């Protein structure tokens, strides 16, 4: 594992109406979301790799679709600096992933249909009123990036 990263299997509770999965409970998770969004990623497409200086991402991959989530610890002061992990997440493995600042992250849709991701970050994108620079180091734009999925 990578220090500060939380990977939690989510449980889908089903009945005749469909299913429900809890993705956030303040009594189980220390990070506190300040916004939320959902994205769909087409088959074969990679999002990232990038990292944040100050933001923690709280990703929920519950389906439809499946992704490979890759995480690299890029924090020189971390006891797990340089470690990487790969987790398959989504419809067949509903997963919550908490990614702290300095952990590079990327995911690739490895299925045949669009893969959905819910993100509940603890910082506003581009700050209050979108007046700040985005808190991102976009490794995907660097041809010499050490972070490859």
Task: Give the mean pLDDT of 114-128.
Answer: 96
Residue 50 in tokens:
């990038």
Are 116 and 67 in contact by the 8 Å Cβ rule? The answer is no
Q: Using a pLDDT cut of 70, give the percent of the chain over it.
A: 100
Report the sign of the C-alpha dihedral through residues 11, 122, 29, 85, in that order: positive
* Structural domain count of the chain: 1
pTM for the full predicted model: 0.93
Phi, psi of 73 (to 5 degrees): -80, 110
Lowest mean pLDDT among 25-34, 59-68, 70-79: 25-34
Structure confidence at residue 126 as a pLDDT band (50, 70, 90) = very high
Position 149 pLDDT exceeds 80: no
- Short-list 40, 50, 49, 52, CA closest to 122: 52
Q: Is residue 130 a part of any domain in this protein? A: no
CATH assignment at residue 66 = 2.60.120.10
Cα–Cα distance for residue pair 54/58, rounded to 1 Å: 13
Class of residue 143 by CB neighbours under 10 A (exposed 0-12, middle 13-18, buried 19+): exposed
**What CA–CA distances, in Å, run from 49 to 11, 30, 53?**
27, 24, 14
Q: Is residue 149 a part of any domain in this protein? A: no
pLDDT digits (tens, 9 = 90+) for 82-117: 999 999 999 999 999 999 999 999 999 999 999 999
Position 76 pLDDT exceeds 90: yes
Task: Check residue 128 and give its pLDDT.
Answer: 94
Residue 95 in tokens:
């997963």
The conformational region for residue 30 under phi > 0 = left, psi -120 to 50 = alpha, else beta, is alpha
Q: Is residue 112 a part of any domain in this protein? A: yes
Structure confidence at residue 137 as a pLDDT band (50, 70, 90) = very high
Cα–Cα distance for residue pair 121/141, rounded to 1 Å: 22
Q: Is residue 147 a part of any domain in this protein? A: no
Task: Give the residue numbers spanning the domain of 62.
Answer: 6-125+135-140
Q: Is residue 77 a part of any domain in this protein? A: yes
Q: Is residue 57 a part of any domain in this protein? A: yes
pLDDT digits (tens, 9 = 90+) for 21-57: 999 888 988 889 999 999 999 999 999 999 999 999 9
Q: Is residue 120 a part of any domain in this protein? A: yes
Task: Check residue 121 and give its pLDDT.
Answer: 97
Are 110 and 69 in contact by the 8 Å Cβ rule? The answer is no
Q: Is residue 23 a part of any domain in this protein? A: yes
Instruction: Give the chain's mean pLDDT.
Output: 95
């Amino acid at each position: 594992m990578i220090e500060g990263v939380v990977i939690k299997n989510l449980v889908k509770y089903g009945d005749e109406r469909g299913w429900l999965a809890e993705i956030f409970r303040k009594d189980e998770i220390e990070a506190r979301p300040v916004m939320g969004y959902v994205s769909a990623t087409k088959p074969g497409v990679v999002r990232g790799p990038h990292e944040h200086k100050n933001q923690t991402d709280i990703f929920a991959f519950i389906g439809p679709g499946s992704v490979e989530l890759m995480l690299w610890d890029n924090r020189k002061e971390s006891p797990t600096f340089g470690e990487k992990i790969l987790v398959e997440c989504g419809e067949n493995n509903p997963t919550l992933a908490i990614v702290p600042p300095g952990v590079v992250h990327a995911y690739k849709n490895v299925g045949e249909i669009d893969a959905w991701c819910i993100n509940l970050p603890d910082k506003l994108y581009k700050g209050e009123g979108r007046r700040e620079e985005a808190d991102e180091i976009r490794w995907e734009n660097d041809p010499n990036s050490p972070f490859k999925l």
